[in-house]
């Protein structure tokens, strides 16, 4: 019974039902009391006048008096019942509205505080199921906003760090040439050019990330042969794998048709297979598999590389996140490749996820797309 009473719909129904029951009860009680204590005393003289009437006019007057007495008694009973029902309705309405208005006012106040930047604001869970759900969703929204704010602050720090490294290198070369410590020769300019290219790649990656997160990446959705795209990407990255003594195995049966953007699909695959090559030590094995399910086509990129720690797995698709917190340049690129890939997968109606048994156990990435 208490479980049903926690639902707002049953509370509203119960309050109305109480008003109806109170009205009927007061009506019955008032009618019984009035009939027992007043009606007979009021009607008896009219009945005697009716029995003693000698002509038609006296009978008519007695009947009118009797009818008037009956109407007054009925009106008085209804008035008592209305007063009782009004009191019952007022009490139940106050109790009901206080249980609804108080949480809503708290939500309004808390939302204003969140709008002012207090992302740690939370509201209490009420004893009403619907309001409980609203409060829970509100607290989840506040927690998400707090996380977004933390990510924004971290993003500023990460971008500053990524920009500082090449800028520091360029500044060092220029300062060295100005002080005469370094020669203004072709080799020095080549080093500076590498830092400028590195800076340019970071800016291009940031621009691409901004566009893909905003949904401004143009897509050419069509039906295409997924096997041929996978084969083309593997052939493209095969020399890099051979240079690192890695073996790439491709398992792609024919006639797998996907409904997506072929070029963007290849872009995601290049990133996934490229990461597998980067994080797999010499002598390792990489497997690229294409499967066909009931509603999807799925590409699985599995490697025997470094793996991903369990605590890092939920964050690998976040901007600038790296499993290697030392941020060594040899451990990866700018750290937004997987972020861009996942947003591209979402934009094409697909999904991108990852699993790993832990460090040294390799990792597996699942890239799914709508099938033709």
Strand 296-303 relative to strand 285-292: parallel, antiparallel, unpaired?
A: antiparallel
Asked if 121 contacts 113 with a C-beta cutoff of 8 angstroms, the reply is: yes
User: Which has more confidence, 156 or 283?
Assistant: 283
Handedness of CA 143, 146, 152, 157 (dihedral sign): negative
pLDDT in tens, 174-232: 888 888 888 888 888 888 888 888 888 888 878 887 888 777 788 899 999 999 999 99
Closest alpha carbon to 93 in 195, 164, 209, 12: 12
Name the architecture of domain 151-213.
Orthogonal Bundle (1.10)
H helical segments located in the chain:
2-5, 8-34, 40-51, 56-115, 129-179, 186-213, 226-243, 262-278, 337-347
Residue recorded with tokens 């099938």: 371
In this predicted structure, the answer to whether residue 270 has a pLDDT above a threshold of 70 is yes
Say what the alpha-carbon torsion angle 199, 203, 205, 210 is, to the nearest 10 degrees. 160
Query: What's the confidence (pLDDT) of residue 9?
Result: 66
Q: Where are the domains of the chain?
A: 2-116, 151-213, 222-370
Q: Up-side HSE of residue 28: CA atoms within 13 Å toward CB?
A: 6
pLDDT (tens digit, 9 = 90+) per residue, 272-330? 999 999 989 998 999 999 988 888 999 999 999 888 888 888 888 887 776 655 444 44
DSSP-derived 3-state class of residue 281: coil
Which band of pLDDT confidence, cut at 50, 70 and 90, is reported for residue 154? confident
Residue 255's nearest CA partner among 98, 83, 122, 371 is 371
Could you read off the pLDDT of 90-108 as tens digits, one per residue? Answer: 777 777 676 677 777 788 8
> Is residue 260's pLDDT more than 80?
yes
pLDDT for 246: 93
* Bigger pLDDT: 148 vs 272: 272
Instruction: Check residue 166 and give its pLDDT.
Output: 83
- The token pair that represents 120 in the structure block: 């740690």
Is residue 72 over pLDDT 50? yes
CA 106 to chain centre: 22
State which CATH number among 3.30.565.10, 3.40.50.2000, 3.40.366.10, 1.10.3720.10 fits the domain covering 222-370.
3.30.565.10
Q: What is the pTM of this model?
A: 0.60
* pLDDT at residue 271, rounded to an integer: 92
Q: What's the chain's average pLDDT?
A: 80
pLDDT at 352 over 90: yes
Cα-based angle 108, 113, 114 (whole degrees, multiple of 5): 95
3-state SS class at 175:
helix
Burial of residue 199 (number of CB atoms within 10 Å: 0-12, 13-18, 19+):
middle
Picking from 348, 335, 364, 353, the residue whose alpha carbon sits closest to that of residue 265 is 348
Dig out the tokens for 18 from the structure. Answer: 């109480």
Angstrom distance (rounded) from CA 102 to CA 126: 9
């Amino acid at each position: 019974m208490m479980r049903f009473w926690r639902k707002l719909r049953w509370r509203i129904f119960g309050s109305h039902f109480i008003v109806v029951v109170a009205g009927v009860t007061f009506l019955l009680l008032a009618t019984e009391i009035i009939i027992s204590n007043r009606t007979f005393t009021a009607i008896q003289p009219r009945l005697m006048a009716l029995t003693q009437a000698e002509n038609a006019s006296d009978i008519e007057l007695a009947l009118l008096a009797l009818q008037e007495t009956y109407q007054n008694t009925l009106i008085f009973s209804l008035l008592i019942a209305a007063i009782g029902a009004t009191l019952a309705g007022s009490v139940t309405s106050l109790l009901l509205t206080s249980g609804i208005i108080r949480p809503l006012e708290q939500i309004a106040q808390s939302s204003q505080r969140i709008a002012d930047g207090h992302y740690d604001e939370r509201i209490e869970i009420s004893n009403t199921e619907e309001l409980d759900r609203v409060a829970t969703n509100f607290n989840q929204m506040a927690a998400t906003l707090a996380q977004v704010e933390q990510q924004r602050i971290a993003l500023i720090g990460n971008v500053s760090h990524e920009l500082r490294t090449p800028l520091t290198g360029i500044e060092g070369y220029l300062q060295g040439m100005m002080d005469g410590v370094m020669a203004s020769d072709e080799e020095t300019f080549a080093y500076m050019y590498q830092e400028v290219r590195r800076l340019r790649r970071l800016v291009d990656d940031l621009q691409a990330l901004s566009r893909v997160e905003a949904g401004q990446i143009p897509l050419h959705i069509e039906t295409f042969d997924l096997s041929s795209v996978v084969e083309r990407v593997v052939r493209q990255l095969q020399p890099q794998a051979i240079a690192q003594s890695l073996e790439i195995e491709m398992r792609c049966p024919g006639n797998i048709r996907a409904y997506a953007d072929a070029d963007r699909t290849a872009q995601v695959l290049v990133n996934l297979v490229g990461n597998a090559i980067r994080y797999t030590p010499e002598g390792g094995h990489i497997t690229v598999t294409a499967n066909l399910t009931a509603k999807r086509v799925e590409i699985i990129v599995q490697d025997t590389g470094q793996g991903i720690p369990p605590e890092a797995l939920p964050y690998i698709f976040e901007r600038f996140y790296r499993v290697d917190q030392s941020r060594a340049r040899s451990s990866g690129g700018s750290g937004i490749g997987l972020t861009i890939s996942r947003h591209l997968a979402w934009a094409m109606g697909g999904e991108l996820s990852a699993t790993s048994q832990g460090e040294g156990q390799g990792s597996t990435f699942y890239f799914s797309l709508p099938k033709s």
